[in-house]
Structure 1
Amino acid sequence: MVKAVTDHSMPSLAGLGWTDFFGDQLEPGDADLIPTRIATVHRDRLTGLSQAGPVDLTLPAQANTGDYAVGDWVLVDGHEHLVQRRLVRKTVLERRTQGGRVPQLAAANVDTLFIVTSCNADFNPARLERYLALANEAGTTPVILLTKADTAEDAETYARQAAALQRGLPVVTLNPRTSDAATILAAWCGVGQTVALIGSSGVGKSTLVNTLAGSGQQSPQQTGGIREHDAKGRHTTTSRSLHAIAGGGWVIDTPGMRTLQVSDVASGIDTLFAEITELAPLCKFRDCTHVHEPGCAVQAALKAGTLDPERLARWRKLSDENQNNTPAQSGPRGAKSPGGRGKRR
């Protein structure tokens, strides 16, 4: 049942993505347990990858697969392959679906998040900002990947619009079907590095996974086309899985998503909209809403033409949604405060 996992021949722990962050969590009683990385998460089972190769894992009686994410590190009993405990995550990507009460785990211990979109009707700045807020909050490095540039009249316009979404944001234009794609992305895909792909269906995520994994992978990802009239694709990836990159790293493919509800990403939004975040302390009033108060630095920048009104509108919408969706946490003396950054779980 572990054939879906493409693994490097006899990988080292470091090659699997193990670092001192995880090693420092080991206790004296863990000496006989095997560090194993979660490779696939299904409804009723997990598979893992250790130095010995792929393995089907057994969960403790009170656990369920929803408690684990692809990319997690767990300690496993070598005889029965029973998961003893999960190590604290360095980063974790999770999303809230519309109407969902609990965020869904997408991937864990990801170094770089490739946000994939196309140079066509799929390109949506507001949706990309949601992905960026998610990546920022998780502690991963976001990179925008633009596909289908060959079908666009002016692909550079898409690249400029994407780069303007966040300071210092890398934007890469590529064809996921060509071997050049692996070379272009090599800086983020070195030995022991883990990348994840996120984006709508039909933008080329599964194709890119196949390209990065190379011809040696056992079970290539299924790929599908898009509808011409609205650039929407079919869901060809239905579960998350870990694949070896031919150059030495690891890639996690995720099912396509068109809707993404934000919650508990206040820090990620602050990073995303730095031009607004940095103006807020200059306002006359500490609790300024940036709407009508006198002495508002944000409104002043808007009038001066140095702040994009569309960005301000999207910041306001995303911030309001995040506040409404984020459960309040009890602070000192029972005071309620919105949940903040804290993805190491």
Structure 2
Amino acid sequence: MADLRGATVVLGAGPVGCMAALAAARTGPVILYAARNTQGQSRVDSVPAPLLALLLEFGVHPAEIGVTELQDTRIASWENRDPVVLRTRAMAHVMRPELDLALRREVLRSPAVTIVHTLDPHASRTAARVIDASGRTAVSAVRRVRPTEPFVARTITATGQFSRAARAFQLAAMPDGYVYRLGTPASLTFGIVAPKRFHSAAVVRKLRQLGLGWILTGLPSPETMAAGRSGIASVQWSEGPHHPIRVGDAALARDSLSSQGMANGLSDALHASENETDLWRRHKEERQAHLTSLIREIEWCWCGSSSNWMVYKTFLRGHLDAMDAVSVRNGDQR
């Protein structure tokens, strides 16, 4: 059994957990609790370009995670059915699980980090601090808050050679949810986000019926693409004591519409190691801002009045109003 006295204990060995471990290893010993099988299925994710500099600082080169270029446009059918080309800040399309494996490699290279597969919860009380990077599971939380029927993302991925136009980030809203696609020169991911399971062929038919078939241009037949990640895509947050320190999705799992989950999670990991005092307050402020942003996106959406979107909006509005009321009461007490 690893000696936890005076060490930083990190729960979870995904990208956020590995980053938290690497950052904490700069100042002392780290115990990283990892499940035995953590490798995910292949897919492409979008992250802000500045994140590449942070990854490089910790030993992960852009080329090894599939980054050969930056993208600064997105094509979207959101406010209208007709697609619009939008200029965005520079984004990088990265390969998973290559990113996860690269960060895990750096953890294995660090002499200050010990990886364990079992952890005595009583012994962890002797640790200098405990960081919960267990993702949406949020093992240290008292309560997890999310919609009763959350949107679920299901991805399929193809390999090959894809043009720059084909690998651009593209998004199309539907009454039942939305679809998106993005890629690298060698891989293309198509995502379906909805409250219930849809067969890819049915989604293709629905897109064409809605006049959204443009998003299928240059896409291999979905039936030939390999099944990838599946998981909840709606916003979720956790409640409970401020210690252990929850970071990344364990604290606030952003709706996948934002494309900010990875970047914010890795930023959390650094803050937990460098300045944890105000991290919980930052999470509260970010949660309020994120819910406000999601409500605005639904209101702008061309099909935002559909039943699925309205149910989601009602959930968001109810919790946002409750948080605002608490903030007002706390302000009055001061």
Q: What is the TM-score with the length of structure 2 in the denominator? A: 0.25
- With structure 1 as the length reference, what TM-score do the two structures score? 0.24
More helix by share: 2
Structure of higher RCO (CA pairs closer than 8 Å, 6+ residues apart): 2
The structure in which a higher percent of residues are strand is 2
